[in-house]
Structure 1
């Protein structure tokens, strides 16, 4: 069994933002991009179908900030990815990927290049230059759609999880994968802030496996069972949990598990205790009555609807009703010793439910360097704290002040 990194080894970078309850409750949309995604094509006369009628608006399915928080990239169902400047609040460029489709865009450590998953043609991961709109490398091997993709926080490594029930570890400098994990179900993946540890969530089994990056070919050093005893108070048998995302807090202490239903969870990242259940939002799974019985969500969940602020003090998340929720997680309980799956987690209600996002907020991310949040669905919104009632002036002063630090 691989040794678990110590607390000092796993501490992330020091917080760069002084976020407070007052700041978080005053976040307002400073800029809304109503044309952040192309509308679906209008049906030609005689070809109109019920499917077209039920298709609805297209959505942004993935967003990512670069390391410095200068730029944001979005990927959408219109098979485009778009770059925005966080400093000027302006759209910079639109690039098309009509042949392959685009999903899960992730900046490398250069803000001129990304890796992204495909939605058409094949299941290849593509390394793309935003500067000259060219593909730099193709990463082939998956036999099913890539549903989870993350870049290492410390080097040129990245990893992917696929519907083919494998996790592949890659390096941007080589086209062949350098590691392969075969799993019993579709995996969701996450790196910790140091890149030393990565986690793999296995749905249908409600397990989260923690691996030492240097010994990924050996057994996980910790296996966590995600079981919520409060669910049996609602229905019996309790409704299954379907995990759509994972992310470690920057201080390495906690693991946030995003789920398709009406709750997200925070776990202790060292021993696996279930600490908190985040409630108050409407899950994005959008299952219809006619959908086949399954715990897997229908189209609607992006896996990016919930995430940390950079200082690990708050969690921000989306909701089917368009609300954007902020949870204060500064006072989580401390648990040690053997994990008891029957102990109820702390049930946290939102500090605030923010209005201003049009339609379901499928993607919610907080900028790593600026007091700025981004939400996306059928439109894209940049949020800034508005203490004076003029978010535009706040934006100018905040961005200028942050850059001068």
Structure 2
């Protein structure tokens, strides 16, 4: 399946096992250069959005449960819906009044929830079919920076700059649970939906809660510490967490950070097992910083993620590169030499892929197909280029059918 603009996903793509060899063959199959609208000048030298004089970016992407569709949200206040199988743009929807961020498919391919970027801090339940709001979820007093749909039901969870975590249900406009935390929280569900995690940057801690007893104390508190940072500067710089996600087997937590490292933590014991290196962190603290990224909420919070089988981690970089880390053989804390047990294993990329211009703010793998989406100023669909291996694949298929080549 060569990676060309006319390439289509077929049924075989969903059965391709993700191997180290295949991950090194990922290439952009299609790049959507019109995936975000340029700034519109009002008068010579001025723009409609004076707070962001640099290029605008896609800040969020989400796949539906079947992996058939992907939706993007961008700083031009648009949703854009794409078909993953045909590689075609389906429709553009606008939310100029409220802005859009953190799009998340519900368990229906025709509806999403999303956060607002202006007017108020209400969460919105949006029908993609007829471009109407189905429900409003009010309660947050500041911008929502983390939003996750439950993997098993109609529940969802939000974290806001008002230092609260709220638990919701699509069927009710008021929240069914509230947690107050010391600083801006980042949230994530485990695959069973029975446990959720809350990252609190002020104390560099990750709190794990039982979903059914969220009003009680967390059953596990993890402190994110990296002794290797003291080799670079002293006192070591603080780690700023921007995203959390559990592995598909529930064993690990991937902690995305704004700097030049991400971390993998044992979700049962809380040990920091691995430090993922090799990318250029998206962290920018000032509006006039290079490339115009100002992480009001960290970054996009979507610049690093698992593959569906959790064998690999894919991530973006400030220079537009796409990195793949092989995490299939992580050493447990018990298997490390005594003198290294306090230090995470430093994992270099399996491969660094050429992406698209500018910072890569979103990187996600399709939940059903051997396909990846990356986004920044542009949106790219990635597929494995197997053209060089076509003969070997054909021989393998013939062998399975009992036919000698």
SS in 1 for 2:22: helix
Is the Cα–Cα contact under 8 Å of residues 189 and 196 in structure 2 kept in the other structure? Answer: yes
Matched with 1:345 is 344
| Cα distance in structure 1, aligned partners of 2:157 and 2:249 | 21
Instruction: Indicate which of 308, 313, 321 corresponds to 1:323.
Output: 321
Residues in 2 aligned to 1:308 and 1:289: alpha-carbon distance in whole angstroms? 30
Shift of residue 16 of structure 1?
A: 6.5
TM-score of the aligned structures, taking structure 2 as reference length: 0.87
Q: In 2 relative to 1, CA 53–111 (structure 1 residues): closer, same or farther, beyond 3 Å? A: closer
3-state secondary structure, aligned to 2:23: helix
Q: Deviations over 1:338-387 (max 9, x none)?
A: xx997000000000000032221100000000000000000000000002
Q: Is the 8 A contact 2:240 2:298 kept in 1?
A: no
Whether 2:37 is the aligned partner of 1:44: answer no
Match of 1:63 among 43, 61, 67: 61
Contact 1:229 1:341 in 2 (8 A): no
Structure-2 change in CA distance of 1:75 and 1:253 (3 Å): same
Task: Work out whether residues 255 and 263 of structure 2, in 8 Å CA contact, stay in contact via their aligned partners in 1.
Answer: yes
Equivalent residue for 2:194, pick from 193, 196, 205: 196
Gaps of 5+ in 2: 1-13, 394-405
Cα drift, residue 229 of structure 1: 0.4
**Alignment: residue pair count:** 372
Aligned-residue offset at 1:233: 0.6
2-structure distance, mates of 1:299, 1:151 = 19
Q: 1:140 aligns with which of 135, 138, 141?
A: 138
In the alignment, which residue of structure 2 is the partner of 1:3? Answer: none
In the alignment, which residue of structure 2 is the partner of 1:361? 360
Per-residue CA deviations over 1:223-256 (Å, capped at 9, x if unaligned) read 0000100000100000100000000000000000
- Answer whether contact 1:165 1:183 (CA < 8 A) is retained: yes
Counterpart-to-counterpart distance in 2, 1:172 and 1:368: 23
Counterpart-to-counterpart distance in 2, 1:99 and 1:290: 26
Q: Which residue of 1 aligns with 2:398?
A: none
Task: Show the 5 A alignment for 1:64-79.
Answer: 64-79=62-77
Render the CA deviation track for 1:144-178: whole Å, top value 9, x for unaligned.
10000000000000000000000000000000100
- CA drift of 1:300 comes to 7.7
- State the shift of 1:213 in Å: 0.4
Q: Deviation of residue 204 (structure 1)?
A: 1.5
Residue 281 of structure 1 contacts residue 319 of structure 1 at CA under 8 Å; is this kept in 2?
yes
Any idea what SS the aligned residue of 1:189 has? strand
Equivalent-residue separation in structure 2 for 1:313 and 1:123 (angstroms): 36
- 8 Å contact from structure 2 (residues 242, 298) kept in 1: no
Cα distance in 2 between the residues matched to 1:300 and 1:251: 27
CA contact (8 A) 1:228 1:341 kept: no
Cα offset for 1:336?
Answer: 5.5
Q: Shift of residue 260 of structure 1?
A: 0.3
Distance 1:150 1:255 in 2: 15
Q: What runs of 5+ residues in structure 1 fail to find an aligned partner?
A: 1-14, 395-405
Is the partner of 2:203 in helix, strand or coil? coil
TM-score normalized with structure 1 length? 0.87
SS, match of residue 198 in structure 2? strand
Number of the residue aligned with 1:211: 209
The Cα shift of 1:309 comes to: 0.2
Change (3 A) 1:120 1:254: same
Q: Is the 8 A contact 2:325 2:350 kept in 1?
A: yes
Distance 2:340 2:158 in 1: 29
Aligned Cα root-mean-square deviation (Å) = 2.5
97 and 217 in structure 1: CA distance in 2 versus 1, 3 angstrom threshold = same
SS in 2 for 1:204: helix
Deviation sequence 1:243-289 (CA, Å, 0-9, x none): 00000000000000000000000000001000000000000012349
CA distance in 2, matches of 1:360, 1:229: 28
- Please give the per-residue CA displacement for 1:317-346, whole angstroms capped at 9, x wherever unaligned: 000001000000001111269xx9970000
Cα distance in 1 for partners of 2:220, 2:276 equals 24
